Amino acid sequence: MILVTGSAGFIGSNFVLDWCALHDEPVLSLDKLTYAGNLENLASLQANLRHSFVQGDIGDAELVARLLSEHRPRAVINFAAESHVDRSIHGPEDFIQTNIVGTFHLLEAVRAYWGELPDAEKSAFRFLHVSTDEVYGSLAKDEPAFTETHRYEPNSPYSASKAASDHLVRAYHHTYGLPVLTTNCSNNYGPYHFPEKLIPLLIVNALAGKALPVYGDGQQIRDWLYVKDHCSAIRCVLEKGRLGEVYNVGGWNEKANLDIVHIVCDLLDELRPRAAVQPAIFNFQSSSYRSLITFVTDRPGHDRRYAIDARKIERELGWKPAETFETGIRKTVQWYLDNQGWVSNVLSGNYRQWVEKQYGE
Ligand code: NAD
Ligand code: DAU
């Protein structure tokens, strides 16, 4: 079996759902269920005997040690993290605790477990750490995309904490021989994406007739990858990755934020025209969701451009994304339209407090 941490979040839940659809191998899920963790994401697995869920912290070394010795996984895939840059700017402490201290405790528990395994299991064991392109810092417009040897230059408390966790993982391989793999991926989008992040925030706000906040001039560039493609890359690295290696994962799909906003508005105009959603507010048919675009104060220290050079994973492991941005974003917008119940459950509770803190009234 495999142990997946952070499995109730956006990417972790997509990974577990896909894994259970594709494999017979059981999954043990471990998630603290912070504001970003949502068991509803895993609801379709409720009756699946090959999936079990434990609520807990990767930093709880005793709990992790017990889970490892009771379930004897052949791999640990670590998605657990505080993941939102803006939250890390308002309050970095949780990022330090989970992304650095938590990863350290997880590594210690895994090292002790791995050290006691019989030889065959020991050499088959893998610890896969899921990281981000943000550790490499920001690129100028004409600089080449990030390769795996690009120097680390994290700019936000979030990316600095992820960089620290990457270094710990690397050190555990170098010093103790722990069989680790690291992936550094670009921006994901797709189902179950928490609506504090740009793309789901746009969809949710547009449908509610609310402002679509664009930081600064909206010309910052991100490299977008459909979440299912990230999950297939992780499965590929887990199966074929060389020990101790880092693999950059991306979709060769750089877009400026304002272009993303336009694409999402245009898709919504096509799939759920505004006149049908907000007839009381707008009774003239031609009004596009684009009229909700609002430029707001920029994110402090905002990275200008990320771009991933994904040639290594393609060359060595044969991985390529299956979706283009056009197919992936259409599926994503449709998923949000089809899953309004999931959206309204997420929007209740402390989500509202976050929106007020970040965007004001
Ligand atoms: P997310 O915030 O949606 O989910 C994180 C999950 O981790 C949540 O379910 C949360 O409850 C859980 N968690 C938080 N602290 C924990 C702890 N101490 N112990 C156990 N569980 C804990 O994040 P995501 O977008 O799914 O990202 C998953 C991973 O992928 C993160 O490590 C992130 O850095 C990385 N990543 C994300 C992206 C992206 O675009 N979202 C891109 C590249 C890499
Ligand atoms: O690059 C990978 C990273 O992508 C992951 O490591 C992070 O976990 C993930 O959150 C994401 O970080 P970003 O900061 O790039 O994602 P976010 O969706 O928050 O923002 C995307 C871009 O959109 C960024 O340039 C900021 C901008 N933005 C964001 C929000 C929430 C806006 O213009 N307005 C907004 O309201």
Note the ligand closest to the C-alpha atom of 193: 1
Find the 9 Cα to ligand 1 centroid distance in Å.
6
Q: What is the pLDDT of residues 177-199, one digit of tens each?
A: 999 999 999 999 999 999 999 99
The answer to whether 245 and 128 have CB atoms below 8 angstroms apart is no
Buried b (16+ CB within 10 A) or exposed e, 322-351: ebebeebbbebbebbeeeeebbeebeeeeb
Q: Which atom of ligand 2 is nearest to the CA of 162?
A: 6
- Matching residue, tokens 């060769």: 252
Q: What is the CATH superfamily name and number for domain 2-257+298-350?
A: NAD(P)-binding Rossmann-like Domain (3.40.50.720)
Residue 178: the pLDDT is: 98
Q: Which residues are catalytic?
A: 133-134, 158
Q: Which atom of ligand 2 is nearest to the CA of 215?
A: 33
Buried b (16+ CB within 10 A) or exposed e, 144-183: ebbebebeeebbbbbbbbbbbbbebbeebbeeeebbbbbb
Tell me the β-bridge partners of 255. Answer: 222
Residue 287: the pLDDT is: 87
Residue 352: the pLDDT is: 80
78 lines ligand 2 (CB under 6 A): no
Find the 89 Cα to ligand 2 centroid distance in Å.
13
**Which of the listed residues 162, 187, 292 should we mutate to test ligand 2's pocket, taking the one with most ligand atoms within 8 A of CB?**
187
Distance CA 11, CA 192 (A): 8
Task: Give burial (CB, 10 Å; 0-12/13-18/19+) of 235.
Answer: middle
Angle of the 351-359 helix axis to the 340-347 helix axis, nearest 10: 70
**Which of the listed residues 5, 33, 34 should we mutate to test ligand 1's pocket, taking the one with most ligand atoms within 8 A of CB?**
34
Q: What is the DSSP letter of 43?
A: G
Report the 3 state secondary structure along 261-296: HHHHHHHHHHHCCHHHHCCCCCCCCCCCHHHHEEEE
Q: What is the pLDDT of residues 267-290, one digit of tens each?
A: 999 999 998 777 666 555 458 999
**Which of the listed residues 197, 199, 308 should we mutate to test ligand 2's pocket, taking the one with most ligand atoms within 8 A of CB?**
197
DSSP three-state, residue 42:
helix
Residue 355: the pLDDT is: 87
Question: What share of the chain in percent tops pLDDT 90?
Answer: 93
Greatest distance between any 2 Cα atoms in the chain: 71
DSSP string spanning 98-165?
A: IIIIIHHHHHHHHHHHHHTS-HHHHHH-EEEEEEEGGGG----TTSPPB-TTSPP---SHHHHHHHHH
**Interacting residues of 295 by C-beta distance below 8 A, sequence separation 6+:** 214, 216, 217, 218
Question: What share of the chain in percent tops pLDDT 70?
Answer: 98
Find the 81 Cα to ligand 1 centroid distance in Å.
4
- Compute the average pLDDT of residues 251-256: 96
What are the boundaries of each domain within the chain?
2-257+298-350
Q: Name the amino acid, one letter, at 138.
A: S
306 lines ligand 2 (CB under 6 A): yes
The answer to whether 198 and 260 have CB atoms below 8 angstroms apart is yes
Enter the pTM of the model: 0.97
CB-defined site of ligand 1, < 6 Å: 5-6, 8-12, 31-34, 36-37, 57-59, 79-83, 98, 102, 130, 132, 162, 185, 187-188, 194
Note the ligand closest to the C-alpha atom of 8: 1
Note the ligand closest to the C-alpha atom of 84: 2
